[in-house]
Amino acid sequence: RVIPRTPNIFLSCADDCTIRLYDLRTKSNCMKDDCNDDVLIKSNWGITSVDINPMNPNEIVCACADSSVRLYDHRKLSTQISSTTSSPCRYESSINGLISYFILSNRQEQRRSRVTSVVFNQHGTEILASYSSESVFLLDPRQSISQEQIKECLIEHRNKKLTKLSINDKKPTSDKISNDENKT
């Protein structure tokens, strides 16, 4: 994910439990066996998705394999030296950088589902999180919430009539609506 207004800097996430920050204006590769030079966040869980607040590029939201969504202010993440390497890494255990933390699931599910994607809306005021169980949650990034406080949960959304506008607040075209209605 490219950071807004800084096209040379981008983030990546992976199942190796890291979010990495790359700057194309600096070094092109790392020759170390286990390179942590670009690690911004090291988690205990695989990270499946990452997005940047378009109105505040310091805010990073990530989806983790433990069914959680975490919102960080990357300016507040502390840098620690890892015990296995001498490279400074930023760890999620640094609660100072954690703004919000969400664990959501459908009450009818027996097990937690994996978060497959997270994205901010164009104003940075909401986060849409989709889960492998086909549940979709609309979150307020300014507060950590419990299941009872979910702002909006869109369940059974597949092949249903359009129930909400896009997360990017774009109005759907009439062709899209009519095509969706024909599928149901």
pLDDT per residue over 91-138, tens digit each? 444 456 888 888 865 555 556 678 899 999 999 999 999 988 778 888
Looking at residue 77, what is its pLDDT? 75
CATH number of 9-183: 2.40.10.480
- The CA–CA distances, whole Å, from 154 to 97, 127, 129, 163, 164 equal 29, 13, 10, 8, 9
pLDDT per residue over 24-64, tens digit each? 888 767 788 778 878 888 888 899 999 999 999 999 999 99
53 contacts 120 by C-beta, under 8 angstroms: yes
Percent composition of the chain: helix, strand, coil (DSSP 3-state, to 5): 10, 35, 55
Looking at residue 53, what is its pLDDT? 94
Q: What's the burial of 96, exposed, middle or buried (CB within 10 Å: 0-12/13-18/19+)?
A: exposed
Looking at residue 95, what is its pLDDT? 54
pLDDT grade for 144, boundaries at 50, 70 and 90 = low
74 contacts 62 by C-beta, under 8 angstroms: no
pTM: 0.68
Average pLDDT over residues 57-79: 86
pLDDT per residue over 53-64, tens digit each? 999 999 999 999
pLDDT per residue over 7-29, tens digit each? 888 899 999 998 988 888 887 67
Domain-wise residue ranges, the chain:
9-183
